[in-house]
Amino acid sequence: MQVTCAALLPDGLTMTAPSRFPFSPYIFACLLGLFALCGFWYGLGKPVILPDAASATHKLQCASYTPFDKDQSPFDVPFNLRPERMDADLALLAKSFQCIRTYSMTGLDALPDLARKHGLKLMIGAWVNSNPVDTEKEVDLLIASANANPDVVSAVIVGNETLLRKEVTGAQLARLINKVKSQVKQPVTYADVWEFWLKHPEIAPAVDFLTIHLLPYWEDDPSNIDAALQHVAEVRQVFGNKFAPKDVMIGETGWPSEGRQRETALPSRVNEAKFIRGFVAMAEEQGWHYNLIEAFDQPWKRASEGAVGGYWGLFDADRQDKGVLAGPVTNVPYWSQWLVVGGLIFLGTLILGGRVRSTRAALVLPLLGALAACSIGAWGDLARVTTRFASEWLWAALVTALNLLVLTHAALTLSARTGWRGRMFNALESQAGWLVAVAGFAAAVSMLELVFDPRYRSFPSVAFIVPALVYLCRPVSVPRREIALLTFIIGAGIAPQLFREGLQNQQAWGWALVSVLMVVALWRCLRMSKGQVGAN
């Protein structure tokens, strides 16, 4: 006995199946697409359980703190730090830390009293730069605060990565340190990346203890998350041996939760939690003094360091717990919201397709919707953390619009093209060559950026999956000369960008794969004659 499955298919598509299995290819494809969509976002957002680093009975040593709101930066004029913000921040940090480290004296007059209120110690720092007037003002404020608050200020730091920035000489810095030492009772130190202590050995005799920065992600040879802690331990041992009997404090260490991969070093919330929790356990077992970078995400740093610069915090810029120190941690905390967005894109694709042209179209349409829902949502999440300026927001919006137009074109191609669907298809089909040109142009621009200026740029692979696959499977007529140039740029950049990033960089390989798909799609479009297009 046979039963009709028309009710289970798009309008106009009918099939027959045994009565025991009233199950159409369309419904199967829909369920498969929904399963893939849900699995994609849940897989990214699935909580991971790790050993806790902090608890109500175990406070950590120190964390870097700058009291900016998420829309503030040190370059704002006028410079306005709110005491109520600092009060709330210190109340939160006091639950997990014994002290905080600061980097400048400007605008922090209220901080010692607030630290005293919340039972926190301070490592206060003077910002030393190439301007002697500004530096003298910072140093004088540092000395005055240390002497006025001996019960709160546990150590003072004269300069942060000043030698790295080449703003003063080693001799000039040593004189500043000695000036401060002669006027305060607290231990005095200087903080810099560990290599610069080795390049400037004249600084070590001037300080009471060394403060070194150890950030495996930013090393010239970046360490992956599994090797990062071992690297930290090895460098700390070298310094402990070389500069004994002086103590060595790890003044900055941490891992970014967002941003582009560098060789094998992959930013993520789970990796940040793995690093921080593993480091704390190792440091406390070894008896090291340490300071974690940093208390809160600092979005303003994205302007100079790319997306990764803004996401080193233990808490986000809204002061919400990222799960770095304790409890479950997830790489994509907003995965359920993106699942809803993806569900709407998936449903919209099915509505656009409506009555499909064939059984094959019934299979392809839901899978296309699921792919688009995943890739466009992933691009949206990437744009959320990477965009810094109005121009970048505009770029992200235009690429999103491109993806939606390509998706619409593809869905209408699979439909029966009657009524308004037919009219919309004809309009898009007549401009399809320009959709390909825009996709190729955007991919070529991205490739040039990743070849010639890649350090702070994220890989936009998810933004081009839909255009690449759609026009790979269904090429259209295109402006030949322009598309030939774009094809060459994208193709020629694949090997150089892989060489620069290293062959172990999975994100670079992902971009290379999408670029290959885009090159083949553009090449197929170039070969397409107008007669062949009309036959599709």
Query: Coil, strand, or helix at residue 184?
Result: coil
Q: What integer pLDDT is reported at residue 23 of this predicted model?
A: 53
Q: What integer pLDDT is reported at residue 73 of this predicted model?
A: 87
Q: What integer pLDDT is reported at residue 17 of this predicted model?
A: 37
Residue 532: pLDDT band by 50, 70, 90 thresholds? Answer: low
The CA distance from 468 to 399, in Å, is 13
Mean pLDDT of 317-323: 96
C-alpha pair distances (Å), 62 with each of 124, 250, 271, 292, 306 = 12, 10, 20, 6, 26
Least confidently predicted of 21-25, 201-205, 294-298, 395-399: 21-25
Q: What integer pLDDT is reported at residue 382 of this predicted model?
A: 95
Q: Is the pLDDT of residue 178 over 50?
A: yes
Looking only at the bridges linking them, the beta strands covering 210-213 and 16-18 are unpaired
190: nearest Cα among 214, 173, 168, 165: 173
The CA distance from 265 to 498, in Å, is 15
Q: Which domains does the chain have, with CATH numbers?
A: 27-44+337-535 (no CATH), 60-310 (3.20.20.80)
Q: What integer pLDDT is reported at residue 79 of this predicted model?
A: 73
The CA distance from 420 to 409, in Å, is 13
Query: What's the token pair of residue 531?
Result: 């007669």
Q: What integer pLDDT is reported at residue 480 of this predicted model?
A: 87
Query: Coil, strand, or helix at residue 57?
Result: coil
Q: What integer pLDDT is reported at residue 39 of this predicted model?
A: 97
Least confidently predicted of 341-355, 474-488, 518-532: 518-532
Answer for the pair 129, 105: CB distance below 8 angstroms, yes or no: no
Q: Is the pLDDT of residue 14 over 60?
A: no
Tens digits of residue pLDDT in 410-458:
999 999 999 999 999 999 999 999 999 999 999 999 999 999 999 899 9
Q: Is the pLDDT of residue 390 over 50?
A: yes
The CA distance from 386 to 396, in Å, is 10
The pLDDT > 70 percentage for the chain reads 94
Tens digits of residue pLDDT in 216-270:
999 999 989 989 999 999 999 999 999 999 999 999 999 999 999 999 999 999 9
- Burial of 416: CB neighbours in 10 Å, binned 0-12, 13-18, 19+: buried
Answer for the pair 186, 142: CB distance below 8 angstroms, yes or no: no
The pLDDT > 90 percentage for the chain reads 86
> Sign of dihedral through CA atoms 70, 213, 49, 51?
negative
Q: Is the pLDDT of residue 13 over 60?
A: no
Angle at 398 between CA 392 and CA 404, to 5 degrees: 140
Q: Is the pLDDT of residue 94 over 80?
A: yes
Answer for the pair 379, 387: CB distance below 8 angstroms, yes or no: no
Mean pLDDT of 516-529: 91
Query: Coil, strand, or helix at residue 453?
Result: coil
Please provide the DSSP assignment of 384-436 as one string. Answer: HHH--SHHHHHHHHHHHHHHHHHHHHHHHHHB---HHHHHHHHHHHHTHHHHH
Answer for the pair 219, 263: CB distance below 8 angstroms, yes or no: no
Tens digits of residue pLDDT in 95-136:
999 999 999 999 999 999 999 999 999 999 999 999 999 999
The distance from CA 399 to its chain's CA centroid, rounded to whole angstroms, is 19
Answer for the pair 522, 490: CB distance below 8 angstroms, yes or no: yes
Answer for the pair 41, 381: CB distance below 8 angstroms, yes or no: no
Mean pLDDT of 502-524: 96
Pinpoint the alpha helices (H) of 119-242: 132-148, 170-181, 194-199, 225-242
Mean pLDDT of 301-317: 94
Average pLDDT, the chain: 92
Tens digits of residue pLDDT in 19-77:
343 458 899 999 999 999 999 999 999 999 999 998 888 999 999 999 999 889 888 87
The CA distance from 293 to 123, in Å, is 13
C-alpha pair distances (Å), 427 with each of 334, 354, 405, 407, 466 = 36, 18, 11, 14, 20
The CA distance from 370 to 353, in Å, is 13
Query: What's the pTM value of the predicted model, to 2 decimals?
Result: 0.91
Query: What's the token pair of residue 58?
Result: 């175990």
